[in-house]
Amino acid sequence: MIDNDIIDKVRGSLIGGACGDAFGYPVEFIFSFKEIEVKYGIGGIAEYDLSYPWLSGAREGGSVLISDDTQMSLYTAEALIESHKSGRDLLQTISEAYLAWYGHQVGESVKISYCSRLSEIEELNQRRAPGNTCLSALSAVSNGRAAYNQSKGCGGIMRVAPIGIFGAVHKWTLHKTAGIAGESAEITHLHPLSTYSSAALAIIVQECIETDNVDPVTFQNIVENSIRIVEEVYGENSPNMNEFKDVIYNALSLFDSQQEDWEIIETKLGGGWIAEETLAIAVFSVARHIDDFAGCMKCAVNHGGDSDSTGAVAGNIIGAIIGYDMIPKKFTETLQFRDLILSYSDALSACNK
């Protein structure tokens, strides 16, 4: 039976991702940290924005909204639970789960072979800036065709943390976790850098859940191990492998720099619109603020890029390190669908019973 510490870390990873998503969502399309400071003051956004006009009228009970990142992560979790329960092919079930999400986004009736509880929650399935690559790829899948693109956008990596969670619960080998996460991302995003980054994130989440007392040195070792395993799974001479390694090692090398967080991200790590940059910003933010959830979140979203996705991935990782009980209540109390997310976290843990 899974122990309480693992259950807490599973909750922390899924909720942490949702917190980062909701925190970064209002600044996703602000083009620089300096512009964020104009809107939110010195230091940028530091609290949930419950008043942002884009979000007004869509909140329930004053809660802060999650975006498509958390929506798709929940559908990934649902597919893992359904496959475990029914014996259905895992990747096929994940693909069908994404189709269920897609149908709501575009207002089409999409038939899948299992009963999706998430599909029945109207508020959950509202459009929250869904990625164009996800929509176009799933349009092809819904019409019986495989996706065909060379996109390395962050729409693949942002949703695969539940695979690392499930791997920890079931004690999968890290190689198995990497393969499933990479193939899951490839349902919509076909560039190798999306595949490698998604595989690495799932490995990192799994190892952070499995490891007690993750300090900066331990975390660096976990990230470096994820790179090694991705190399072993996909081949060290695979296309773009050296580029992937360079981006992530660069992020690790910067965590003790004297520059400001935002300056490092905007000048040396990118905007997070593409998968390897999303992972790099998340890794940097966690390494920089490994004992401080709020500091990690501020670091991960205060830049001119895809702030909800970088916040979500950083939240998945640091939540897997510190656990749910150590996430400040100011982040969890007003989070939209908190109870639903916790129920799916616990269902993932219960799959071990």
**Predicted structure pTM score:** 0.97
Distances from the Cα of 276 to the Cα of 192, 227, 237, angstroms = 10, 12, 18
The whole-angstrom separation of Cα 287 and Cα 32 is 22
Distances from the Cα of 252 to the Cα of 126, 222, 223, 286, angstroms = 36, 11, 8, 10
Write out 31-71 in H/E/C secondary structure: CCHHHHHHHHCCCCCCCCCCCCCCCCCCCCCCCECCCHHHH
What is the DSSP code (8-state) at residue 238?
Answer: S
**Ordered per-residue pLDDT tens for the chain, 353 residues:** 678 899 999 999 999 999 999 999 999 999 999 999 999 999 999 999 887 544 444 444 568 889 999 999 999 999 999 999 999 999 999 999 999 999 999 999 899 999 999 999 999 999 998 999 999 999 999 999 989 999 999 999 999 999 999 999 999 999 999 999 999 999 999 999 999 999 999 999 999 999 999 999 999 999 999 999 999 999 999 999 999 999 999 999 999 999 999 999 999 999 999 999 999 999 999 999 999 999 999 999 999 999 999 999 999 999 999 999 999 999 999 999 999 999 999 999 998 76
pLDDT digits (tens, 9 = 90+) for 300-326: 999 999 999 999 999 999 999 999 999
Count of residues making up the chain = 353
The whole-angstrom separation of Cα 245 and Cα 232 is 13
295, amino acid identity: G
pLDDT digits (tens, 9 = 90+) for 19-69: 999 999 999 999 999 999 999 999 999 999 887 544 444 444 568 889 999
Q: Computed from CA positions of residues 228, 185, 203, 324, in that sequence, does the dihedral angle turn out positive or negative?
A: positive
